Structure 1
Amino acid sequence: MSAHGPMPRSAWIFPALAVLLFAVATGLGLEFTPSAGGLLFAAVLLAILFGTVFAAVHHAEVIAERVGEPYGTLLLTLAVTIIEVALISTIMLGVKPVPALARDTVFAVVMIVCNGLVGLCIFIGGLRYREQDFQVSGANLYLSVLFVLATITLVLPNYTLTTPGPVYSAAQLGFVSVVTLVLYGVFLYTQTILHSDYFVGSGSDAAHGEAPLSNRMLALSVALLLVSLLAVVLLAKKFSLVVDVVTAMIGAPPAFAGVLVAVLVLLPESVAAIGAARKNYLQKSINLALGSSLATIGLTIPAVAVAAYVFDKPPLVLGLNTQEMVLLMLTFVISMLTFGTGRTNILFGLVHMVVFAVFLFMVFVP
C-alpha cells in the first residue's frame, strides 16, 4: 500500500472484514480445529489478519507523512508494538500457559530486525547505489539503548541468585520493567526533542509535486488506524488458537510461535523499510528497523509482565539459552561494526543476512 494518492480499497476493506469476522465467529461460536472447515477458517483468518495489519501500517504511514520525521517513524513503530503486545498477551494468557512466548518473540524480533531486515536493506541499497550513508550519532544511540535493554531482559535473568533458572523474581521483574520504560522514555525524548537531527538522513523519500494531505483524509486515516488496531486485538484470541494447533500439527519447536508472531507484526514495517532503502533513504530504514527492536523490548516486556501479574500467570521465562546468547552477542558485535562508519555496502548486508539465516535454521534444528 502506498501512502500517496487516493486511499486504496484494501485500507478500509480489511479492517471492516476483520470486525465482521470477529462478530460472526463470536456469534456463531466458530473455533479453529484441525479439520477441513477449521483449515478454511484459519486461512481466512490469517488472510484478513495480515491485510488488517498492513492496513494499520498504511494509515500510520499516511499520518506519519503529515507529522514528519522522526515522529512519523515513531508512530509506525508504536502501532506495530500495540499489535505485538496484543498478540503476545493473548497467546500467553490463554488456557495453555506459554511463559516463554514473550522471550521467544522479543528475541525473534531482535534477530529478524537487526540481522534479516537491516541486512536486506543494506544489501539492496548496496546493489543499487554501491554505498549509502546514515547518521552515526543516531545509530549509536539506538545501539547503546538496545544493547542494555536486550542484556537486562534476555541475558541477565540467567544469572540472578534470588530465583533459580531463567526467570526474575517478582521484585526483580518489577524493577527491570520500570527501568526499561524509563530508558525507553528518555530515548524517545532524545529522538523527538533533544537531538531529532540525529535521526534525519541526507536522503529523502518524500513525494514531490503531490497535493498535501487534506484534514478530511487525515481524520479518516486516524479513525481507520484505531479500527485496524482494535480489530487485530479482537482477532488475537482466534489467532492464538491457530498458532497452537499449527505448531502441534507440524511438530515445530516452541520458539516457532514467537517467530510467527514476530513475522506477522514486522512484515508491513519491513516492506516500508526496504522501500526506503531502495529510494536511497537508508536512515529511515534504520529508524524503522532499530526503532522496532527498542519498542519491542521497551514496551512489550513491561506490558506482558503486568498482564502476567494481573491475571496470576506463571513467572515469565526471559533468559535465553547459551546458543541464543551467542547469536545475540554476535549480533551486537557486527552491528557496532556495521553502524560505526556512517557508510554501508553489500558485504555488511550479507554478513547480517548470514547471521539471520543461522538463527532461522537453529530454530528448527537447534
Structure 2
Amino acid sequence: MNRVFFIMVLIGVPLSVIGNLLHWSQVLMFAVFCLTIIALAAYMGRATESLAVVAGPRIGGLLNATFGNAVELIISIFALKAGLIGVVLASLTGSVLGNLLLVGGLSFFIGGLKFKRQEFNVYDARHNSGLLIFAVIVAFVIPEVFSQGMNNQKTMVLSVGVSITLILLYLAALLFKLVTHRGVYQHKSEQTEEHEEPEWSKGRAILVLLLATVAVAYVAESLVHTIETVALRFGWSELFIGVIIVAIVGNAAEHASAIIMAVKNKMGVAVEIAIGSTLQVAMFVAPVLVLISLLFEEQMPLVFTWPELIAMVTAVFVTVAISNDGDTNWFEGAVLLGAYIIMGIGFYLI
C-alpha cells in the first residue's frame, strides 16, 4: 500500500503543477487534487506515527493536528482574501464535525473491528470534554446570541475579544498538558506501553511532515479554485461545499493518521488527533482567522448560522457522552458515523 501512495505522490504532484499551468479541465483537476492530497496525507500519517513513538502520544497527536490544520489555515486565508466568508465559516464547522464524528467515528469503528475494546487516557478524555464544551458551546454560541442586537462594528469587537480569549486559553491548555502536568494524569496503558522502533528517525519524520505540508498546501490552494466549477456542475451549495467537501479534503492528513493509529491499537494517539485537532480548530485556527481578517477589506466575525451551531453543539455532546469513559468499541464508532451522515444529508438539502 505504501508503494501505491508513493506512486500517487510521484504522479499527482507533477500533474497538479502541469494541470495548473496548462489550465486543464477543472473537474478533472479536482479529482487529481483530491487523490494527491490523500496520498500526501498517508505520508503525514507515517511521519506522525514515527514521532509518536519517539515523543509520546500527546506530542505526536499535537504535531499531526498542527500540521493538518496548517493546511486548512492556508486554504482559509486564501478564501478570506477572496471574500468567501461563508465558505470559511462553513469549513470551520465542517472541521469540527469531521474531526469529532467522521475521524473519531472511523477510528472507533475500524479499530473496534480488530479489537473488542480499546482504551485511552480517561483523564485526557475528561479534560478534553470540558474544553470542547467551552470552546464550541460557550465561545461559539455566545457571539451568535449577543450579536443579534449589535451592528457590524460591535460584532467584530465582540468577535476579537472572544478570539483573543480563546487563543490565550488554548496556549494555557498546552502548557497544562505538556509542561506543568505532564505525566501527572498518566493512564495505566501508557505506563505499560511496549517500546518499539519508529519507522523513520525523528529528523526524517519532521522533514517528511514539512515537505508534505508544503505540497498539500499548494495542491489544496489549487483545489479551492476548482470548487466553484465543480459545485455548479454537480449542483452543490456553498454551505455543503464548506462543511463537507473543503473540510474533508483540508483534514485528510488527520483522517488517515487517526485511522492508522486506531488499527494499531494506539487509541490514545487517535483520540488526541481527532479531539485535539477539533480543539485546535475551535480555540486557535478560528480565532486566528478572525484576527487575520482584520487585514482584509471584508472582515469575518465569529458568528455562525444556527444550523452550523446546532450541528457543532450536537457533535460535541455526542462525542463527550461516548468518549468520557476512556473506552471505545466499533458500535460507538458507528453511532458517531451515523450522526455525521445525518448532518451531511441535512447540509446537502439546505
The interval holding the TM-score normalised by the smaller chain is 0.7 to 0.9
In the TM superposition, what is the alpha-carbon distance from 1:331 to its structure 2 partner? 2.6
* TM-score under structure 2 length normalisation: 0.85
After superposition, residues 111-190 of structure 1 pair within 5 angstroms as: 111-161=97-147, 164=150, 169-190=155-176
Whether the 8 Å contact between 2:159 and 2:290 is mirrored in structure 1 is yes
User: Where does residue 5 of structure 1 map in the other structure?
Assistant: none
- The 1:207–1:86 alpha-carbon spacing in structure 2 relative to 1, beyond 3 Å, is farther
Report which of the two has the higher share of helix.
2
User: Where does residue 108 of structure 1 map in the other structure?
Assistant: 94
Render the CA deviation track for 1:187-213: whole Å, top value 9, x for unaligned: 111221233334656169988664x66
* Secondary structure at the counterpart of residue 313 of structure 1: coil
Whether the 8 Å contact between 1:203 and 1:281 is mirrored in structure 2 is no
Counterpart residue type for residue 284 of structure 1: V
Counterpart residue type for residue 334 of structure 1: V
Whether the 8 Å contact between 2:239 and 2:347 is mirrored in structure 1 is yes
In the TM superposition, what is the alpha-carbon distance from 1:139 to its structure 2 partner? 0.6
Whether the 8 Å contact between 1:91 and 1:237 is mirrored in structure 2 is no
* TM-score under structure 1 length normalisation: 0.81
Whether the 8 Å contact between 1:22 and 1:235 is mirrored in structure 2 is yes
Percent identity over the alignment is 20
- The 1:130–1:225 alpha-carbon spacing in structure 2 relative to 1, beyond 3 Å, is closer
RMSD: 3.3
Q: Which has the higher contact order (CA 8 A, sep 6+)?
A: 2
Render the CA deviation track for 1:224-262: whole Å, top value 9, x for unaligned: 322222233333432111112111221112122222121
Render the CA deviation track for 1:104-141: whole Å, top value 9, x for unaligned: 11221222222223233333444443333222211111
Q: Which residue among 71, 83, 91 is the counterpart of 1:83?
A: 71
Structure 2: distance between partners of 1:125 and 1:165:
49
Work out whether 1:202 is the aligned partner of 2:200: no
Judge which range, 342-351 or 135-144, deviates more. Answer: 342-351
Structure 2: distance between partners of 1:165 and 1:152:
21
Structure 1: distance between partners of 2:65 and 2:96:
14
Q: Tell me the number of residue pairs that the alignment of Structure 1 and Structure 2 aligns.
A: 348
After superposition, residues 205-354 of structure 1 pair within 5 angstroms as: 210=197, 217-258=201-242, 259-316=244-301, 318-321=303-306, 323-354=307-338
Structure 1: distance between partners of 2:186 and 2:348:
37
Structure 2: distance between partners of 1:117 and 1:187:
22
Structure 2: distance between partners of 1:67 and 1:98:
38
- The 1:327–1:9 alpha-carbon spacing in structure 2 relative to 1, beyond 3 Å, is closer
Judge which range, 175-184 or 54-63, deviates more. Answer: 54-63
Whether the 8 Å contact between 1:201 and 1:281 is mirrored in structure 2 is no
- The 1:127–1:178 alpha-carbon spacing in structure 2 relative to 1, beyond 3 Å, is same
Structure 2: distance between partners of 1:15 and 1:224:
14
In the TM superposition, what is the alpha-carbon distance from 1:24 to its structure 2 partner? 4.6
